[in-house]
Structure 1
Amino acid sequence: MGLSRRSFLTAGGLLVVGAGATAAGVETGVLPGRSWAYSHLGIDGEDGTIPDVAPGRMVSGAFMSEARLGERCGWSIAYPPGERGNLPVVVVLHGRGNDHTSAFADLGLDRFLADAVRRGAEPFAIASVDGGETYWHARDNGEDAGSMVVDEFIPLLGGRGLETRRVGVLGWSMGGYGALLLASRLGPDRVFAVVAESPALWPRYEDTAPGAYDDEADFADAVVWGEQDRLSGIPVRIDCGESDPFYGYTRTYVDGFADDPAGGFQLGDHDVGYWRRMAPDQLRFLADSLASR
């Protein structure tokens, strides 16, 4: 016998949660009953499709990071077709379990960039770097992926001829949180726009995923809750799927802005299909922020 929508949902979530949903709950620290139900009901929205266009040039390399305690950090830079010198750059922060290749191999941001510029968007480069799984902030063992970005990766990009006095920042999941944290620390003199999609946000340390923070003091030091005013002067876009396990927390965080950020809440889950679907609007937002600065 088939199950109705009411059979799936209760006021607090699911009557039954499958193994896949439980695994996702372990990763995010939020039991994704809503996410599992929306997916099985087919109301997550369509998956985004990577444009069938030729990307511009991509260069890759690696460096040993002092800030990450000697870790080898791979990186890639995607240029738009017909690249110009001294391009602005958007730094991409990946999610947990990903690396610098995920922005291009999984999300297809190099192809989305090529398509955006072909349609008239202000050109810029996209640069991604390995940040490990420490949620882009300083940890008790001395590793600091955020400092790696600011003190090592951005200077590397400048050394390759990119304009780094002010950068854009984009991230998803763990990287979405990292993008908000990094932009709030750098401020409008260093960041021309920030995009956070499906940000891994928790209001309390007790709610966080294992390994996201060392302890309550670490959580307090790297908090973005109640710090929205530190993004004042920076164009902000935040997107989150309505069946994403972080949906409720993200909506509460967005409500804490004096002026509503761009973006919003759409049909979608915490997955690549949603992130691909949002990529064209997010890259256009970054390009428009560049054009108006």
Structure 2
Amino acid sequence: MHPTRSRVTRRALIVGGGAVVAAVAVAEAVDLRWLPGRSTMYRTLGLDGEPGHIPDVTPVPTTSGSFVSRARGGRTVGWTIAAPQSDRPLPIAVALHGYGGSHRTFFGNGLGYERFLAQHVARGGAPFAVAGVDGGNRYWHRRADGDDPGAMVLDEFVPMLEQRGFDTGRLAFTGNSMGGYGALRFGGLLGPRKVRAVAALSPALWTSAGETARGAFDDAEDFRANTVIGRQHELDGVAVRIDVGTGDGFEPAVRTYVDGFTTTPAGGFEPGAHDNAFWRRMAPQQIAFLARHLHA
């Protein structure tokens, strides 16, 4: 605007628009990672998008139980399976929980996958089962104390699912946060001969050992041995989907990870935090992705 036509005085700009300008400046600084507290700022400014909701439908049947895991040093491990009625063996997705979660994380009032799955099937989607299992807070790999939730999943739980009549020849992994990391790790370890798809929700990733949360890895050597960053090629031939919110503290590392693929994974980055509201919003797309590739 030409200066002679402006009716906004310098004082009015400072007093009247100062708060708006400051808010925009702070938001941009946080977005560019100049300031800490990105997740909090996004939530405060209402930038996380609409929350997802568990559908109000009759859920598919669930079954729960437990077993004693040799890989986890004799710990009793709980599990839950949600499976639509079927006359044929169903393909199955193993759902790995995040830090502080359990085999129930993907079900009930948590993420409600037994209801999302029922909705998916009712709308004509291909059926499959979802199975959750307890991994503790050990980031789904062998730890220095001998606890190995990774071996528990691959050597004990998956064979148990096969014994229960599921088609583990059509296997997928999914997970949220710590479990998203675990799903990507297992998909890379087993490769396309054994895994059809991986669908990760807000995977807990770091680009260096010095950035990791306390307890995620034993030390820098453990991080280097088990990080998925730099190992994207191990997922060649596996269908991969990764969804993360732009208000998620893990978003920068996940973006680095996604950029390391030769073929960009499905999913992407959209408004959301590191919480159930975002994970429930993404659940229908994640389930449709898994169904499509489990039946490919």
Instruction: Say whether the fold is shared (TM-score over 0.5).
Output: yes
User: What residue ranges of structure 2 are gaps of 5+ in the alignment?
Assistant: 1-15
Deviation per residue, 1:192-249 (Å, 9 max, x gap) = 1001110000010000000000001110110111100000000000010000000111
Partner residue of 1:70? 74
Q: Does 1:92 align with 2:110?
A: no
- Residue 8 of structure 1 and its aligned partner are, at CA, apart by 3.9
Partner residue of 1:114? 118
Q: Does 1:55 align with 2:59?
A: yes
Q: Does 1:250 align with 2:254?
A: yes
Partner residue of 1:22? none
Secondary structure of residue in 2 paired with 1:140: coil
Matching residue within 18, 39, 45 for 2:43: 39
Partner residue of 1:241? 245
CA contact (8 A) 2:30 2:41 kept: no
- Residue 12 of structure 1 and its aligned partner are, at CA, apart by 5.1
Partner residue of 1:11? 29
- Residue 113 of structure 1 and its aligned partner are, at CA, apart by 0.5
- Residue 121 of structure 1 and its aligned partner are, at CA, apart by 1.1
Secondary structure of residue in 1 paired with 2:196: strand
Q: Does 1:159 align with 2:163?
A: yes
Q: Which has the larger radius of gyration?
A: 2
User: Sequence identity of aligned pairs in percent?
Assistant: 51
Instruction: Give the Cα separation in 2 of the matches to 1:136 and 1:3.
Output: 46
Instruction: Give the Cα separation in 1 of the matches to 2:256 and 2:57.
Output: 38
CA contact (8 A) 1:184 1:230 kept: yes
Q: Does 1:174 align with 2:178?
A: yes
- Residue 166 of structure 1 and its aligned partner are, at CA, apart by 3.3
CA contact (8 A) 1:100 1:129 kept: yes
User: What residue ranges of structure 1 are gaps of 5+ in the alignment?
Assistant: 18-30
Letter in 2 for 1:285: F
Q: Does 1:183 align with 2:187?
A: yes
Instruction: Give the Cα separation in 2 of the matches to 1:8 and 1:67.
Output: 48
Aligned-pair Cα RMSD in Å: 1.8
Instruction: Give the Cα separation in 1 of the matches to 2:226 and 2:160.
Output: 25
Instruction: Give the Cα separation in 2 of the matches to 1:138 and 1:255.
Output: 27
- Residue 56 of structure 1 and its aligned partner are, at CA, apart by 1.4
Going from structure 1 to structure 2, the CA distance change for 1:164 and 1:291 (only over 3 Å counts) comes to closer
TM-score of the superposed pair, with normalisation by structure 1: 0.90
Letter in 1 for 2:140: W
Matching residue within 250, 268, 277 for 2:272: 268
TM-score of the superposed pair, with normalisation by structure 2: 0.89
Moved segments of 4+, more than 4 Å: 12-15
CA contact (8 A) 2:171 2:294 kept: no
Partner residue of 1:212? 216
Instruction: Give the Cα separation in 2 of the matches to 1:207 and 1:43.
Output: 25
